[in-house]
Amino acid sequence: MTPQCRQAVSAAAGRALTEAEIRKIDDRLSATMRQMARRDPAAWQGMSRDARVLAASQEAMTQIQQEAALKVTRASLQIVKTAAMDTRLTDLMSQFSDSRSKALVREMDQTSAYVEGVKRENMAQLMDLLDAAESREGASGLRRGLMFLFDAENPGMTRDLSVEIIANANGATGNGLAQKGARAWLDTIERMRQRFNAAGGDVGQLDYGYLPQPHDTVRVRGDGSAKAQDDWAQKTLPLLDRSQYVREDGTRMNDAEVLDFLREAWTTIATDGLNKTTPGSRPAAGSAARSNAGSQSRQIHYRDGNAYLEYMGQYGAGSMYDAMLGHVGRLARDISLVERYGPNPNQQMRLQFDLANRADNGIDRTFGMLPQSYWDVLSGTTGAPVSGRIAEIGTHMRNIQTFGKLAGAVLSSVTDLGTYFVTTGYNRLSYWDSLKNIGRQFDGDTRDFLSMHGIIAESMISDLNRWSGDNIRQTWSGRLANSTMKLSLMNAWTDTLRRAYSMTMMNGMAKLAKTDWKALTEYDRWRMTSKGLTEADWDVIRQAQLTPYNGMDFLTPESIRAGGDPRADEVVAKVLGLITDESEYAVLNPDLTTKAAQSWGGTQRGTPLGEFSRSVMQFKSFPIAMISRHWSRMVEAPGNIQGAPALANRALYGGAMLVSLTALGAVAYQNKQIVQGKDPIDMTQGKFWLRALAQGGGLGIVGDFLLTDPTENPGDSTANAIKNIAGPSIGSAFDLVGKLGVENVYQAAHGKDTHAGAEALRFARGHLPYINLWYAKAALDHAGLHALQENLSPGYLSKMKSRAQKDWDQDYWWKPGTGGPDRAPNLGAAFGEQ
């Protein structure tokens, strides 16, 4: 700033400005000039310097005035949302608990469902994109196999999609499918941007199509040296759209200037933004206003879709599709939080935590955790890694356990039928329709109908957290884990049941929608309010023009919007969130409480404690969710209010869960015996029903700890019990270091047979993909693995047989080590027949 300008600005301010203030004005003016130069470079360069400065000053003033107005609007919105939240918490306290802290946790649980509703609705708008992504057009046979097994990309389609998106779907590629997919993406994220801004956000629009840029911090940083910094800058330079990099006078920057900019960008990416903070003044994680999310201008602009993909191949985290779906998920969270809690949700929550502390004379804990833990999970703070390297190591460890140990999980999942039908009865839905809708999921038209209306398969949107607790598809280990779960039929089983239940729920909601709020039974009103639906919301639902399909009516997002109510967005999110949440009772999935418990109260990813907690809690999400969902529901069941079904009675609900899950646990346990080549176990033995009770999962994590037989797996029973508590990754480390290492060294030193080869084979088998698939395991065993195990550890097969005889008086229908089965399984053995 020239001395004359400095004098004029100081005079306008009525005081002498500090150097920091002058620098801030200079930076703002410079950025505005470059921004205006990019719009019309020729016209900008035709102006005199003074004219450019004047135009930029006027533009900057207009922007500052708009920002000031937005600040006032946000303050007003924050007040309105605070009042609305106080009303919701008061209602929750009157209905469920006198504790404001516990009401706050329940409110956050409702918001978690709201987030899912926003996400599912917008995912439904991306079906053309997903169709393009899954297209095998032009792919070789090998590539098609990789696409099926590992969700690999079709390179030609990915290239055309990226080109079309950045070119605003102008049809440049001549690929109609890619153009439709690009248009679906651009329209969806634009609607989400506008919805976010309407709630107080401030996200601008690029002049080209947006694709998210997930930088892999580890790959960008390299060894952290100046050479790594320069190497990244030199490789990125030719990928840029140079028209975006201009000086204040509108002329383009030269290579040296852009390289200087890129080196600074490298520092920001490699340090996760730490270079832009002042020591001692960095705000706590998640403390910034959510309405500012995404408001920063993009700095790295690629010349086209090919350049974007080249960068992603070198320095991106995951695939383009992973980035796109992740972006929709983040936008859905941001939209939901500002719509529910105002432009600054973190400020809202700090206020609510203080009010809860005062009201409860010390914050009450829910499941042993403070409300802050739930908020850290809900807001995304817990899932944002502090260190990409540490998070990556932890994720690989857990994924290896997933593909090594869950290849037969579908055999245990027959117990889902118990929770499926208990949830059906609790919601007063038709058992017959629930059963028929399972069969309807094998019809492609029905699946398409559901997908169009927000009932998206988890496997389709990378939301696979039932067993792993993570989004597992973005790494090599994640793709192996996902592939193993797909081949085991676990994904198909879960998707089928959950979508069938959602379909039944949509039909049930359509039937209720024909009834006025006051004419609903007391139980139905209680059900709706417990999920956050109010009488005002019901009035919007009543206006819905129900969607017909196969002779039935369904309450869909489109039918609610067709009513024309201005609150349709909010109500659609609540309804889809309700349907999704109930489907996750029917086919158990972690809720907010389970996610908070899995992370030990919200410890952040990418920290030693955060990764340790997730490793310890791996595979415990199912039993914890059984407690947080079904046990809690049983305790809260309203009993004999008007219109309540039998399963609203606590004793009947608990009894139905216990009996059905134990019976199905028995079926699952017997299925496992048959798949292993054994005859069924005699069910007249009392200890069998303890195993069935544990297998069914009705006792939650209590049953896992108390009823799991530590002698069921090879090795010391005490060690196995410890591994069950410490988690599979720590258990594997214990086996590797203790069993294979220290114990074998000790035995060898004392001249004993170590059995190291057999133990190494057993260890390897428990950590390899595919070979434990339930339908192939027996064939692989008899094709050579049994013989190899016997060779490495003579007497191994005889020990297997004697153990089955000793533990359960059980025989084999396909004897270990033989080429083919000797006979069919003796099903009568299950009833004591020999």
Does the pLDDT at position 719 exceed 70? Answer: no
Cα distance between residue 683 and residue 692, in whole Å = 10
Q: Can you give the three-state secondary structure of 466-526, one letter per residue?
A: CCCCCCCCCCHHHHHHHHHHHHCCHHHHHHHHHHHHHHHHHHHHHHHCCCCHHHCCHHHHH
Q: What is the mean pLDDT of residues 345-364?
A: 92
Burial class from Cβ neighbours inside 10 Å (0-12, 13-18, 19+) for residue 357 reads middle
Maximum distance among all Cα pairs of the chain, rounded to whole angstroms? 105
The residue range of the domain holding 817 is 673-831
Decide which of 53, 77, 95 is a domain's last residue: 95
Going by pLDDT thresholds of 50, 70 and 90, the confidence category of residue 747 is confident
Q: Residue 552: beta bridge partners?
A: 549
Same domain, 772 and 825: yes
> Which residues lie below 8 Å from residue 128, measured CB to CB, with a gap of 6+?
177, 180, 181, 183, 184
Note whether residue 323 is domain-resident. Answer: no
Q: Beta-strand (E) ranges in 520-641?
A: 547-549, 552-554
Note whether residue 324 is domain-resident. Answer: no
Q: Do 375 and 382 form a contact (C-beta atoms < 8 A)?
A: no
Angle at 267 between CA 262 and CA 269, to 5 degrees: 90
Q: Which of 494, 468, 497, 475 has its CA nearest to residue 405? A: 468
Q: What is the mean pLDDT of residues 322-334?
A: 92
Does the pLDDT at position 290 exceed 70? Answer: no
Distance of CA 7 to the CA centre of its chain: 55
Our CA dihedral for 744, 746, 751, 753, rounded to 10 degrees, sits at: -20
Q: Do 160 and 129 form a contact (C-beta atoms < 8 A)?
A: no
Does the pLDDT at position 472 exceed 70? Answer: no
Provide the pLDDT for residue 721: 67
> Residue type for 815, please?
K
Provide the pLDDT for residue 698: 75
Same domain, 638 and 606: yes
Cα distance between residue 102 and residue 343, in whole Å = 24
Q: What is the mean pLDDT of residues 232-249?
A: 93
Q: Which of 339-348, 661-670, 675-684, 812-821 has the lowest mean pLDDT?
A: 812-821
Residue 273: Cβ within 10 Å count: 11
Same domain, 678 and 812: yes
Does the pLDDT at position 730 exceed 80? Answer: yes
Q: Do 157 and 137 form a contact (C-beta atoms < 8 A)?
A: yes
Provide the pLDDT for residue 795: 85
> Residue type for 528, please?
M
Q: Do 545 and 80 form a contact (C-beta atoms < 8 A)?
A: no
The total number of structural domains that make up the chain: 4
Does the pLDDT at position 708 exceed 80? Answer: no
Q: Residue 812: beta bridge partners?
A: 678
Cα distance between residue 562 and residue 127, in whole Å = 21
Q: Which of 208, 206, 199, 385 has its CA nearest to residue 297? A: 206
Does the pLDDT at position 118 exceed 90? Answer: yes
Does the pLDDT at position 335 exceed 60? Answer: yes
Decide which of 658, 687, 711 is a domain's last residue: 658
Q: Which of 143-147, 569-573, 731-735 has the lowest mean pLDDT?
A: 731-735
Note whether residue 380 is domain-resident. Answer: no
Same domain, 640 and 722: no
Does the pLDDT at position 578 exceed 50? Answer: yes
Cα distance between residue 659 and residue 647, in whole Å = 13
Does the pLDDT at position 674 exceed 60? Answer: yes
Q: Provide DSSP, 730-763.
A: HHHHHIIIIIIIIIHHHHHHTT----HHHHHHHH
Does the pLDDT at position 799 exceed 90? Answer: no
Provide the pLDDT for residue 817: 84
Cα distance between residue 338 and residue 80, in whole Å = 12
Q: What is the mean pLDDT of residues 806-826?
A: 89
Going by pLDDT thresholds of 50, 70 and 90, the confidence category of residue 778 is confident
Same domain, 748 and 609: no
496 to each of 20, 512, 586, how far by Cα in Å? 61, 25, 12
Provide the pLDDT for residue 284: 46
Provide the pLDDT for residue 718: 57
Choose between 232 and 206: higher pLDDT: 232
Q: Which of 700, 692, 687 has its CA nearest to residue 654? A: 700
Cα distance between residue 375 and residue 104, in whole Å = 10
Q: Provide DSSP, 256-273.
A: HHHHHHHHHHHHHHHTTT
Provide the pLDDT for residue 793: 83
Q: Do 458 and 464 form a contact (C-beta atoms < 8 A)?
A: yes
Choose between 725 and 278: higher pLDDT: 725
What b-and-e string marks burial along 64-98, b requiring 16 or more CB atoms within 10 Å of the CB?
Answer: eeeeeebeeebeebbeebbeebeebbeebbeeebe
Q: Which two tokens stand for residue 470?
A: 């993570």
Same domain, 631 and 738: no
Provide the pLDDT for residue 216: 87
Provide the pLDDT for residue 469: 46
Provide the pLDDT for residue 183: 97
Cα distance between residue 499 and residue 444, in whole Å = 13
Q: What is the mean pLDDT of residues 29-44?
A: 88
Same domain, 642 and 696: no
Going by pLDDT thresholds of 50, 70 and 90, the confidence category of residue 642 is very high
Note whether residue 189 is domain-resident. Answer: no
Cα distance between residue 634 and residue 403, in whole Å = 34
Q: Do 742 and 780 form a contact (C-beta atoms < 8 A)?
A: no
Same domain, 635 and 685: no
- Give the global pTM: 0.91
- Could you read off the pLDDT of 156-198 as tens digits, one per residue? 999 999 999 999 999 999 999 999 999 999 999 999 999 999 9
Does the pLDDT at position 250 exceed 60? Answer: yes
Choose between 201 and 294: higher pLDDT: 201
Note whether residue 124 is domain-resident. Answer: no
Provide the pLDDT for residue 292: 61
Provide the pLDDT for residue 450: 95
Provide the pLDDT for residue 273: 59
Our CA dihedral for 313, 317, 321, 325, rounded to 10 degrees, sits at: -160
Same domain, 609 and 529: yes
Note whether residue 733 is domain-resident. Answer: yes
Q: Which of 411-425, 506-520, 694-708 has the lowest mean pLDDT?
A: 694-708
Note whether residue 692 is domain-resident. Answer: yes
Provide the pLDDT for residue 711: 46
184 backbone dihedrals φ, ψ, rounded to 5°: -60, -40
Same domain, 532 and 567: yes
> Residue type for 104, please?
L
Same domain, 689 and 654: no
Provide the pLDDT for residue 777: 87
Contacts 24+ apart (CB under 8 A), 143-148: none
Cα distance between residue 472 and residue 465, in whole Å = 8
Our CA dihedral for 120, 126, 132, 136, rounded to 10 degrees, sits at: 10
Residue 749: Cβ within 10 Å count: 9
Provide the pLDDT for residue 541: 97
Does the pLDDT at position 767 exceed 50? Answer: yes
Residue 544, Ramachandran bin (φ over 0: left; ψ between -120 and 50: alpha; else beta) = beta
Note whether residue 665 is domain-resident. Answer: no
Same domain, 827 and 692: yes
Q: What is the mean pLDDT of residues 73-102?
A: 92
Decide which of 47, 66, 95 is a domain's last residue: 95
Provide the pLDDT for residue 303: 93
Q: Do 711 and 720 form a contact (C-beta atoms < 8 A)?
A: yes
Q: Which two tokens stand for residue 768?
A: 């390899």
Q: Do 449 and 574 form a contact (C-beta atoms < 8 A)?
A: no
Going by pLDDT thresholds of 50, 70 and 90, the confidence category of residue 473 is low
In this structure, the strands spanning 552-554 and 547-549 are: antiparallel
Q: What is the mean pLDDT of residues 421-428?
A: 97
Choose between 328 and 639: higher pLDDT: 328
Provide the pLDDT for residue 707: 58
Q: Which of 76-90, 273-287, 466-480 has the lowest mean pLDDT?
A: 273-287
Our CA dihedral for 455, 458, 463, 469, rounded to 10 degrees, sits at: 130
Q: Which of 792, 771, 34 has its CA nearest to residue 408? A: 771
Does the pLDDT at position 536 exceed 50? Answer: yes
DSSP code at position 246: B
- pLDDT mean across residues, the chain: 88
